[in-house]
A and B are shown apart, each in its own frame.
Chain A
Amino acid sequence: MNGSKWGSALAVLVVVSLLALLGFGLTRDADTLASPLVGGTAPDFELPKLDDDGMVSLSDLRGSPVVVNFWASWCLACIQEHPVLIDAWRTYRDQGVKMVGIVYQDTRENARRYLRERGGGWTQVTDPGTRVAIDFGVYGVPETFFIDPRGIITHKHIGPVTDEIMHREIGVLLAAARSPTGVEPAASSAGPPAGLTKAPSGGTS
């Protein structure tokens, strides 16, 4: 007798837990995956410029806040976010913020035509062999990385950026630039979920 009561209670418990789990599953976005790179040092790179013969190296930009944006001409969301990038560049370039656009799986001609049609102005480089994108754990475009003056990635945004995101994240970078000890990234930005990465605790210069 008791066996079946326990059995039924167990069955109900299993059913309810399963439904709760599936309900949880509905609330999260299966597409965006947190990056293990956030909170760590950005991988260095040296890439050829889009327009002329020079090279751009990330380590050269150490000491300034840097926004790295992966994009492609065939990417509709990139077209969508482009005005936001232009706005942000115009607003923050005088405050020392550097912006680098990295072309992802595209041809030089397409990239140049895209910029001619839509404007730009910040540094643009190509990524032969997609090696740097892989180094940054990129799997689609657009993806935007916010790097503070010490070279730490404070935030990664997947998908088109909005004005709000740019202001918020660049604000974090500028705060880090002003602080003498290098303040840790503010918790306001949606960082990686617990258990995946460990953000630097305390202020280490």
Chain B
Amino acid sequence: MSRAGVLIAVMLLAWPVPGVSAQPSTRPSVPVGKDLDALTAEVAAQLRCPVCRQLSVQDSPSDLAQEIKGVIRGRLAAGESPEEVKAYFVSKYGEWILLSPPKRGIALLVWALPILALGAGGVVLGVVLRGWLPGGRASRGERPDPASTAAP
């Protein structure tokens, strides 16, 4: 049981491991050419298109999205970091322009609750299953054995 517990704990901790949608880190040098294209696409993929709201700026066919990509590209080329570029758009459009909710304030709930729910569910499941095993609380209570009615 404890081995399983350790395994579950490791899995829970590994859950928010980046790699599925990597955040670009601040880069020291100003990107050019293909690097600039790639970085622009990366940042654009993290912004919501204000016109086609279900798509990212990178995916959206709207004209505004193309212009926004131009602004992103210009700012990155001028030496701004991706974080600064995103902050600029947040200052203009509001927090909702970020496709991924920030990890602070109330939005922290949306990151934390699923992990907590899975953990809590796992604990409940473990307790229930253990109770169902032979010798467990519930299976004891099931048999009409007078001695077992005193079980805790």
Interface residues of A (CB under 8 A from B): 33-37, 105, 129-131, 133-137, 139-140, 196
Contacts and interface: CB of A to CB of B under 8 A. Distances in A.
B92 A134 contact: yes
Contact of A37 (B70, B92, B96): B92
B96 A139 contact: no
Interface stretch (B26-34, B60-68, B143-151): B60-68
Nearest to A35: B94
Contact of A137 (B51, B71, B93, B95): B93
- Interface of B, helix, strand, loop or mixed by DSSP: helix
7 contacts: A33-B96, A37-B91, A37-B92, A105-B64, A130-B63, A140-B51, A196-B95
A-B CB proximity, top 9 nearest: A139-B50, A137-B92, A130-B67, A137-B93, A36-B94, A105-B63, A134-B71, A139-B51, A33-B94
B90 interface: yes
Contacts of B70: 129
Size class of the B contact interface (CB-based, 8 Å): 10 to 19
A112 B50 CA distance: 27
A129 B63 CA distance: 10
Interface of B: 50-51, 63-64, 67-68, 70-71, 90-96
A116 B46 CA distance: 42
Contacts of A37: 91-92
A20 to B, nearest CB: 17
A36 B51 CA distance: 18
Contact of B64 (A33, A34, A36, A139): A139
Nearest to B66: A130
A135 B74 CA distance: 14
A137 B94 CA distance: 9
A126 to B, nearest CB: 14
B2 to A, nearest CB: 25
B67 A36 contact: no
Contacts of A196: 94-95
